[in-house]
Amino acid sequence: MNDVLATAVVFFAIYHIIKAFTDFLLRRKIIKMGHIEKAEILVQQAENKEENRYPTLKWGLVSFLAGLGLILITVLAKTTMPWILNNEGSVLAFGIELVFISLGFLIYFFIMNTRKRE
């Protein structure tokens, strides 16, 4: 598990380093072409992330409901439908988990829509 986590962290860091460098090169190229007013487009992209004002709420909801989905899969596998969920070819467990994860995103979406209206 530590190997997977270390690999994920390394790729995440490499991605952000490459993104920062390519944004710098693109901004420099735009400025050299004489479009100084358009060079702010890249800076505004970072500022437009204001719509995601509650990232902790979003990922908290998704994690909570993903955990509930895993608990439900475990309970169903031990009690009601062990022949379905323990089958290696069964995709019911993945379906249950994806439904709970998408439910987390939908709840977050509805919370944010009601906040925007206020």
- Whether 111 and 68 map to the same domain: the answer is yes
Q: How many CA atoms lie within 13 A of 5 on its CB side?
A: 2
CA–CA distance, 43 with 13 (Å, rounded to integer):
20
* Mean pLDDT calculated for residue range 7-15: 89
Q: What is the CA radius of gyration of the chain?
A: 22
**CB neighbours of residue 93 within 10 Å:** 19
CA–CA distance, 87 with 32 (Å, rounded to integer):
61
pLDDT bucket at 83, cuts 50 / 70 / 90: low
| Domain residue limits at 44 | 1-51
For 25-66, the pLDDT digits (tens) are: 887 887 788 776 666 666 655 555 556 677 888 888 999 999
Number of domains in the chain: 2
The yes-or-no verdict on residue 9 having pLDDT over 70 is yes
Please provide the average confidence, as pLDDT, over all residues in the chain: 79
The whole-number pLDDT of residue 115 equals 81
Backbone region of residue 90 per phi and psi (left: phi > 0; alpha: psi in -120 to 50; beta: other values): beta
- Whether 73 and 102 map to the same domain: the answer is yes
- Whether 90 and 101 map to the same domain: the answer is yes
